[in-house]
Amino acid sequence: MKRYNLIVVGAGPAGLCAGIEAAKRGMSVIVFDENEKPGGQLFKQIHKFFGSKEHKAKIRGFKIGEQLLKEAAATGVEVRLNATVTGLYPDKEIMVKHGDGMYHYKGDSIIIATGAAENMVPFENWTLPGVIGAGAAQTLMNLHGIKPGNRILMLGSGNVGLVVSFQLLQAGCEVAALVDAAPRIGGYGVHAAKVARTGVPFYLSHTIIKAEGTDHVTGVIIGEVDDHFKPIPGTEKQFDVDTICIAVGLSPMSQLLKMSGCTMEDNPRRGGEVPVVDEYGETSIPQLFAAGDVSGIEEASSAMIKGKMAGIRAAYELGFCKETETENSLEKCTADLDSLRQGMFAPGNKGKLIEKTEEGIPVSMNLLTKGFVADGEIIHFPGVTSQKGIHPVIECTQNIPCNPCQDACVKHCIKIGSHITSLPVVENPAPCTGCGLCVASCSGQAIFLVNENYEPGFASITMPYEFLPLPEKGDKGKGLGRDGKTVCDAEIIDVKSLPAFDHTNLVTMKVPAEFVMKARFFKAV
């Protein structure tokens, strides 16, 4: 039986960060993962992450995965793949299935970072081929390069449902509708807005009644639900789709912890059955930790910090790390975690209707129910101003912990301040050169550069564009509004793709001047 100072189960963001921190402090570390590739969900995340520099904001998820793997290799973390931990036994012994054999390992400490599994909802014909989890759709598209379907209906408007809908559009699928039984969109407004402006309709307070088809999905019927989530007869709507994507939340995969005998609780706020842990993730069994989604559903950025904390704490308890160094490192982690857990989507605000931003501006109810901010509402936000010449228009309308736009502008036109959830303010747009770095830096794709006086009678709008094929200079088409409906004629006058933009292309279109605050997407005709 082989021994290690630390055994980590799960090579996702939490597990890798835990392993790296422990190995840095001199521990022998092995990480097991049942998959053939490490990184957990990170390698499916092709979008730019939110947060601040400390949280690796504006870096795409799979790039963060690559960075972590490099760090793990550099610090001497052993990563064992295709290795399924099948049991966790007393005295920190684990059994691992690898190939056709079983192997025993013992750790001085163990960190469980097994993540979560997708929830399902049953409806008539939900077992037909073509009904898949949103995570499965991401795996097909982003890991294997396979289109999950041609025409898709998405159930679930949390960040997963919104982000995967956008990725489906990027993969060339048509998203017929985005449906959620809740009365309000659960995920970030900016994620909803970038889907809505391509023309995808949102159906809130709706659920799937049945999938149609005999041996695979050929259609779906949705219906409106009442306050008790019961379908209202007569409200049915039919869509011809070949795929139904389900994104209705995650459940922690906590079986190993449960069998270890540590104290568990069924906590709906944390996503289901989770271990009872202290602030560092240590369970009721000393030197047995849980980190990441397995100890409560959050997202990858906080999973990384929680992994770090568990790794540092494990090192300290085994004497690999002095008290003052430990305290300093953990304090830094706590501060990073706290800043991520602020704003409208903070864990404590789950399910609450927030009607005003921290600045006292009424939250757009259209955004919460239809996925876009109405023309009349957008002007209330501090990032949206009317100026002479070129200037940024920042359609960031909810307090979320994110600030890359502030650092992106070398001329300091954009200000968020030290409070990371504050709405960005366009403070002094005079020096704006139209470089477009702010547009590309916004993970929510909510920044546009507009020039209200591009030429007599016409304005220019530069928007983030992450679809293929890229429009070309001279292309003529239609300008779509925030709601995805055609508002005017548009002509492409510039397309920029610089390495600094990291694959967010900047497409500039010319529209009649009166549509400068209305048109937000381009559709070729």
Partner 1 sequence: MNDRLRDIGPFVPGRDDDLLICRCEEVTKGEIRQAVHEGMFTMPEIRRYLRCGMGLCQGQTCARLVKGIIASELHIAPSEVEPASSRGPVRPTEMSTLGNEEEA
Which parts of this chain interact with partner 1 (CB under 8 A)? 1-2, 34, 84-89, 95-97, 100-105, 117, 119-120, 122-124, 126-127, 251, 253, 255-256, 258-259, 264, 266-268, 272-273
Smallest distance, partner 1 to C-beta of residue 256, A: 6
Q: CB count, 10 Å around CB of 130?
A: 21
Helices (H), 393-496: 404-408, 437-441
Smallest distance, partner 1 to C-beta of residue 108, A: 16
Residues β-bridged to residue 116: 252
Smallest distance, partner 1 to C-beta of residue 165, A: 22
Smallest distance, partner 1 to C-beta of residue 34, A: 7
Please say whether the beta carbons of 49 and 403 come within 8 A: no
| CB closer to partner 1, 122 vs 457 | 122
| CB closer to partner 1, 85 vs 337 | 85
Smallest distance, partner 1 to C-beta of residue 29, A: 15
DSSP reduced 3-state for 452 = strand
- DSSP class of residue 143 equals I
Smallest distance, partner 1 to C-beta of residue 292, A: 17
| CB closer to partner 1, 253 vs 495 | 253
Smallest distance, partner 1 to C-beta of residue 95, A: 6
Token pair 């864990």 is at which residue? 347
Residues 6+ apart with CB under 8 A from 408: 414, 437, 438, 440, 441, 442
Token pair belonging to 109? 């400490």
Smallest distance, partner 1 to C-beta of residue 253, A: 8
DSSP reduced 3-state for 66 = helix
| CB closer to partner 1, 235 vs 251 | 251
| CB closer to partner 1, 126 vs 458 | 126
| CB closer to partner 1, 95 vs 513 | 95
Smallest distance, partner 1 to C-beta of residue 257, A: 8
Residues 6+ apart with CB under 8 A from 231: 207, 209, 223, 224, 225
Smallest distance, partner 1 to C-beta of residue 30, A: 10
Smallest distance, partner 1 to C-beta of residue 258, A: 4
How far is it, in rounded angstroms, from Cα 158 to Cα 116? 16
Residues 6+ apart with CB under 8 A from 354: 344, 363
DSSP reduced 3-state for 422 = coil
CA distances from 129 to 1, 123, 135, 477 (A): 44, 14, 16, 37
How far is it, in rounded angstroms, from Cα 458 to Cα 456? 6
How far is it, in rounded angstroms, from Cα 371 to Cα 359? 21
| CB closer to partner 1, 95 vs 330 | 95
Q: Is 151 exposed, middle or buried (0-12, 13-18, 19+ CB in 10 A)?
A: middle
Token pair belonging to 396? 């960031």
| CB closer to partner 1, 94 vs 446 | 94
- The amino acid that residue 104 corresponds to is H
DSSP reduced 3-state for 485 = coil
DSSP reduced 3-state for 435 = coil
| CB closer to partner 1, 125 vs 339 | 125
Token pair 């989770």 is at which residue? 274
| CB closer to partner 1, 96 vs 459 | 96
Token pair belonging to 503? 């694959």
| CB closer to partner 1, 117 vs 143 | 117
For residue 437, how many C-alpha atoms fall within 13 Å in the half-sphere facing its CB?
16
- DSSP class of residue 513 equals G
